[in-house]
Homo-oligomer: A and B are copies of this chain.
Amino acid sequence: MVASGRPDINEQTQVTDANGGNVKAKKKKKRALGKGTDVIRQFIKDTLKVEFGSLSNIADGAIELSLFFDSKNAELDSFLKKVKEIVESNEVRRLPKIPKGTRDFGKEQMAIRGRAFSIIESVFKKHGAVGLDTPVFELRETLMGKYGEDSKLIYDLADQGGELCSLRYDLTVPFARYLAMNNINALKRYQIAKVYRRDNPSKGRYREFYQCDFDVAGQYEKMEPDFEVVQVLTELLDELNIGEYEIKLNHRKLLDGMLEICGVSSEKFRTVCSSIDKLDKQPFEQIKKELVEEKGLAVETVDKIGSFVKKRGPPLEVLSDLKNVGSQFLENEGSVLALNDLEILFRALEKSKAINKVVFDLSLARGLDYYTGVIYEAVFKGATQVGSIAAGGRYDNLVGMFSGKQVPAVGVSLGIERVFTIMEQLEKERNQVIRATETQVLVAVLGNDLPLAAEVVRELWAANIKAEFGTNKKFMKQYDRAKQNGIPWIMTIGENELKEGIVLLQKVENKEEGFKIPRDRIVEELQKRLNASSS
């Protein structure tokens, strides 16, 4: 996953046979001892004087070999020593790895991430949400029965005695568990944290990744929190400023009503939904085949479903279509509830100017079991197809699964990894150098005097100036360090400066002559210049 810049030690190596020709490369990967393999091969050949690859000599070779491995043979000792050396040097050469599907985030990535998180957090806080932090692993029983088929992707901790635990799969179930455990009836919270899925890693798909969740739990006036969550989602994507997107939106009760109208029996709702959910990736004909052949639906039922799920478009238009006189939805209790919910929601989003980001899409089904009302998913519309970047919905029964007391809730989860990828791409396109540190000055003491450097740099730190220091006697070495790290100022103290009781303050960029500054005025003189350049 992560480029180490080194060749894989297991990779196919060319094998040279006894006659100097290349043995035909074998298809199967060879286990090799690393770069030492050829050395060992050569060593054995030289020692045994056996020609490998030549059939007629194999019998002789075997005899010599058995003699060689006699423990009394002095050559054996030197051979084993040689092998040990090679193995050890290979071990050292074998660079460490990290688990598949995980990544380190280095300094430039951290700078971008820091910026994104701060934008996201400020949107959450603007809406009065509070932070929550939960453990990275939960009791296994907490996660069981919440994710349907996806449960197989849950990472378990080993049973080392004691409780059975699993890494969290999302932030929603821990949130519901927290509410239930602490008997909390209402909470608007955000959480930015990593979640874990034992999925097949691929480009842009990780086993450890950040989610940024915003959820509103509690009894509010109808559709208040649903409106706010969708609104927050638009604000997040707008403020991150990463390109065009749309929010597909549907309602679980409308979906169920639709299936009922089409004549699907209720116990098949979930499995039919999971087929419908694939409509953004597969053509309808393929889904139809699955529904008829695998899930046993009648062809006319599937065709009816097909005519419904094609409906998508501007929310208020599609809504008015579904509420038309004679619409079958008006005869279905659940659907009527859903359409009324959606009307209130769409009217509010219209007033908050977010409606143009929303597409009412009857094919949106969402996989998870726990949704009970509106559901939505944000997708990028840019050239690069990164797919879904955020998703969520209403889940009124999840907290009750833990405590028996229903606490209605609705939320959204932003899958920030793809957002990071896009932001990194944009930085590259802008050809901007991302400075990883904010250091303002390098204190360069020219010579072996750490106490002097300590005294000077500490004065700067105490004044909240971001400073680094060095005591190398070569000025150019220190100057280069400042230049490479984008540090704007260098404060030099050599023998002369020390005698005069001054420091030399220079701008790194143009390497101009510099200012001689009395030692007791370094803070104020530097601050003056820093303020001047920042304004």
Q: Are A100 and B403 in contact (CB under 8 A)?
A: no
Q: How far is the CA of A394 from the CA of B141 in the complex (A)?
A: 43
Mask for A164-208, Cβ within 8 A of B = 1, else 0? 010100000000011011110001010000101010000000001
Which residues does chain B contribute within 8 Å of A180, judged by CB atoms?
95-96
Task: Decide: A128 near B468, CB < 8 A? Known: A99-B165, A139-B99.
Answer: yes
Task: Decide: A437 near B93, CB < 8 A? Known: A5-B183, A102-B135, A353-B458.
Answer: no
Which residues in chain A, 89-103, are within 8 Å of chain B measured between CB atoms? 89, 92-93, 95-100, 102-103
Q: How far is the CA of A95 from the CA of B436 in the complex (A)?
A: 46
A495 at the interface (CB under 8 A from B): no
A223 at the interface (CB under 8 A from B): yes
Copies of this protein, total: 2
Least CB separation from A105: chain B residue: B133
Contact partner of A127 (CB less than 8 A), chosen from B135, B183, B461, is: B461
A315 to chain B, nearest CB (A): 13
Q: Are B469 and A181 in contact (CB under 8 A)?
A: no
Q: Are B130 and A96 in contact (CB under 8 A)?
A: no
Q: How far is the CA of A132 from the CA of B178 in the complex (A)?
A: 29
Q: Are A464 and B126 in contact (CB under 8 A)?
A: yes
Least CB separation from A458: chain B residue: B352
Q: Are A138 and B99 in contact (CB under 8 A)?
A: yes
Q: Are A452 and B98 in contact (CB under 8 A)?
A: no
Which residues does chain B contribute within 8 Å of A178, judged by CB atoms?
104
Least CB separation from A165: chain B residue: B99
The stretch of A52-60, A151-159, A503-511, A512-520 that contacts the partner chain? A151-159
Mask for A346-385, Cβ within 8 A of B = 1, else 0? 0111111110000000000000000000000000000000
Question: How many A residues have CB within 8 A of the partner chain?
Answer: 109
The stretch of A73-81, A106-114, A255-263, A285-293 that contacts the partner chain? A106-114
Which residues in chain A, 11-52, are within 8 Å of chain B measured between CB atoms? none
A340 to chain B, nearest CB (A): 12
Q: Are B110 and A132 in contact (CB under 8 A)?
A: yes
Which residues does chain B contribute within 8 Å of A196, judged by CB atoms?
136
Which residues does chain B contribute within 8 Å of A189, judged by CB atoms?
107
Looking at chain A's contact residues, the main secondary structure is mixed
Contact partner of A114 (CB less than 8 A), chosen from B126, B131, B223, B224, is: B131
Q: Are A350 and B181 in contact (CB under 8 A)?
A: no
Least CB separation from A436: chain B residue: B130
Q: Are B137 and A99 in contact (CB under 8 A)?
A: yes
Which residues does chain B contribute within 8 Å of A354, judged by CB atoms?
458
A227 to chain B, nearest CB (A): 6
Q: Are A100 and B162 in contact (CB under 8 A)?
A: yes
Q: How far is the CA of A99 from the CA of B174 in the complex (A)?
A: 12
Which residues does chain B contribute within 8 Å of A436, judged by CB atoms?
130
Q: Are A461 and B114 in contact (CB under 8 A)?
A: no
A62 at the interface (CB under 8 A from B): no
Contact partner of A439 (CB less than 8 A), chosen from B128, B158, B452, is: B128
For the complex with contacts A93-B404, A128-B468, A344-B450, 12 further pairs of A-B residues with Cβ separation under 8 Å are A95-B180, A95-B403, A104-B182, A128-B467, A129-B437, A156-B158, A221-B450, A221-B472, A223-B450, A228-B469, A351-B451, A351-B458
29 contacts between A and B (CB under 8 A): A2-B182, A5-B182, A5-B183, A89-B404, A93-B404, A95-B402, A96-B181, A102-B135, A106-B182, A107-B130, A111-B130, A126-B464, A128-B439, A135-B208, A136-B136, A157-B158, A158-B159, A160-B198, A221-B471, A222-B450, A231-B458, A231-B461, A235-B461, A347-B451, A351-B451, A351-B454, A351-B455, A352-B454, A352-B457
Residues of A at under 8 Å CB distance from B?
Answer: 2, 4-6, 89, 92-93, 95-100, 102-107, 110-111, 113-114, 125-139, 141-142, 155-160, 162-163, 165, 167, 177-178, 180-183, 187, 189, 194, 196, 198, 208, 220-224, 227-228, 231, 235, 344, 347-354, 400, 402-404, 436-439, 448, 450-455, 457-458, 461, 464-472, 485, 487
